[in-house]
Amino acid sequence: MSISVSFERQWRAAFEREFSHTRRSAMTQIALSFNEQYNERFVEGQSLCPYAREGRKRGETQRFTHFQSGDDWSALVQLFLNIASDETQVVTQVIFPDLEIEAESWIEFCHHITRLGHAARGGGDVLANAALHPRLSYRTTSAYSLIPLFRRAPDPTIQWVRLDRLEKLYEGRAKGSTFIDPAKLLSMLDRPAVKSLYDRVAEANLATALGYGIGRMESELSELYQDAQRAYRDIPPDIVPH
């Protein structure tokens, strides 16, 4: 389970912070408020995820905040184990309020914690992870290279999705090598290709972004992040008794 030394250094630097209970409570309220705006305005509001709205109505989506101090991942791994053991939790977002970390380091950290969680649980993998971060890099060259734009949440966030549900998004996608009878090749080529739900969602999101305006969407997501940062900075300093 090797990790890059440079990435690990960045994690250690990012997590060298301590907050009082009062400050954590204020930061939690801000994080959840801006995460809700992100989900309502973009994920659900622009139908970027076909599952989000109905999943929330059915109580199958959960949100947590997590304050990491140091490099003891046990509490975070335990949260992973709790989520993995509860089949009613289909999509879970774990928000790290006001965490300053580079996007690439955050992606690596999300993968690392997910690997640790599965190793602690044993057996096959249960949860897939997606790294949400306000400064993810994206390209406009294809529907798939644009996906990181839609994951620009106001705070670094781990999103865990149950693999048994996620597999439905990949139905129809080719996996590995497939044998085709040469006698049937021409007739198969004449058939229209059936796109998977995953591909259709990616293409629909591209169309949505083009209609909405990619620059406008990027700007509004950035504004949401900046507003969250201002809200964190406006938290009054802790009052330390004499």
SS3 category, 129: strand
Q: Is residue 82 part of a domain?
A: yes
Q: Is residue 242 part of a domain?
A: no
Other CB atoms within 10 Å distance of the CB of residue 88:
9
Contact 101, 14 (CB under 8 A): yes
pLDDT of residue 184: 46
pLDDT range class, residue 52, cuts 50, 70, 90: confident
Q: CA geometry: angle at 222 spanning 220 and 223, to 5°?
A: 65
* pLDDT of 181 over the 90 cut: no
SS3 category, 127: strand
DSSP 135-203: T----SSSTTTTHHHHT--SS-EEEEEEHHHHGGGGTTS--S-----GGGHHHHHHSPP---HHHHHHH
Q: Is residue 241 part of a domain?
A: no
pLDDT range class, residue 53, cuts 50, 70, 90: confident
| Number of domains composing the chain | 1
pLDDT of residue 3: 64
* pLDDT of 189 over the 70 cut: no
* pLDDT of 231 over the 60 cut: yes
Per residue in 117-149, pLDDT (tens digit) is 999 999 999 999 999 999 999 999 999 999 999
Q: Model's pTM, two decimal places? A: 0.85
Cα separation, 76 vs 84, in Å, equals: 12
Q: Is residue 238 part of a domain?
A: no
Q: Is residue 182 part of a domain?
A: yes
pLDDT of residue 193: 52
Q: Is residue 73 part of a domain?
A: yes
- Greater confidence (134 vs 17) lies with 134
> Domain range holding 194?
5-233
pLDDT of residue 36: 96
DSSP label at residue 63: E
Q: Is residue 116 part of a domain?
A: yes
Segment 21-39 shows an average pLDDT of: 96
Give the mean pLDDT of the chain: 86
Mark 106-138 as b/e (b = at least 16 C-beta within 10 Å): bbbbbebbbebbbeebeeeebbebbbbbbebeb
pLDDT of residue 140: 94
Q: Is residue 240 part of a domain?
A: no
Q: Is 107 left (phi over 0), alpha (psi -120 to 50) or beta?
A: alpha
Cα separation, 167 vs 124, in Å, equals: 14
Per residue in 100-113, pLDDT (tens digit) is 999 999 999 999 99
